[in-house]
Amino acid sequence: MGQSETPVWHGTTILCVRKDHQVVIAGDGQVTMGQTVVKSNARKLRRLGGGAVIAGFAGATADAITLFERLEGKLEQYTGQLSRACVELAKDWRTDRYLRRLEAMMAVADKNVSLILSGTGDVLEPEDGLIGIGSGGGYALAAARALIGIDGLDAATLDAATIAQRAMTIAAGICIYTNDKITFEKMDY
């Protein structure tokens, strides 16, 4: 890497699983700069809205913390309305000169809905209740879909937390920017 190049940060896998009146967001702990692991136990998850919302981020940490704080403010303004709070945050994120430069994505969930938020103004609700974002998000998402959809195995008896754990472990075995230091936030509804 030349001196004029900015280091490329990788190292996030966030997975959201919604199944049988339970929603879980899981995040790995790895942060890398270029080809070097700089931290293996980062916490990329947070409870918001007095504990009624769980969220995980992929991207620059300072940017994600800013977005968590902004979402917290929107949740206070639109009490109990996660979707509305996320739409309002997405509007700000897209139109505010400062927020526009933030490089992060978020997966958020409450007892009613799971959403993906991006800096392009997207507020997306997946139709299957599964979200995967970050470097290993596609791997974790594919693994979770397979675990939920396998007939004849114990998939019917697996709860959301077990599916999230297994899917994140699979992603960690594939994605070099994902590790097995996984944290969870779980909500029953």
What are the distances in angstroms from CA 24 to CA 2, 15, 103, 162, 180? 41, 8, 24, 9, 17
Q: How high is the pLDDT of residue 10? A: 56
Helical pair 160-174 and 137-149, crossing angle rounded to 10 deg: 130
Residue 39 lies in a domain: yes
Average pLDDT, the chain: 88
Q: 12, 13, 32, 178: which is the annotated catalytic residue?
A: 12
120 as an active site residue: the answer is no
Query: Mean pLDDT over residues 72-97, rounded?
Result: 91
Task: Report the percentage of the chain scoring pLDDT > 70.
Answer: 89
Residue 152 lies in a domain: yes
Nearest to 106 by CA among 21, 9, 93, 1: 93
Residue 110 has pLDDT above 80, yes or no: yes
Q: Are 114 and 108 in contact (CB under 8 A)?
A: yes
Residue 102 has pLDDT above 80, yes or no: no
Residue 164 has pLDDT above 50, yes or no: yes
Query: Mean pLDDT over residues 111-127, rounded?
Result: 91
Residue 3 lies in a domain: no
The C-alpha atoms of residue 105 and residue 44 are separated, in whole angstroms, by: 11
Q: How high is the pLDDT of residue 95? A: 80
Residue 80 has pLDDT above 80, yes or no: yes
Query: Mean pLDDT over residues 172-177, rounded?
Result: 93
Which CATH number belongs to the domain containing residue 34 in this structure? Answer: 3.60.20.10
User: Per the structure, how many domains does the chain have?
Assistant: 1
Residue 81 lies in a domain: yes
The range of the structural domain enclosing residue 70 comes to 9-177
Question: pTM here?
Answer: 0.89
Q: How high is the pLDDT of residue 108? A: 98
Query: Mean pLDDT over residues 156-181, rounded?
Result: 93
Q: How high is the pLDDT of residue 93? A: 82
The C-alpha atoms of residue 10 and residue 32 are separated, in whole angstroms, by: 5
The C-alpha atoms of residue 153 and residue 147 are separated, in whole angstroms, by: 9
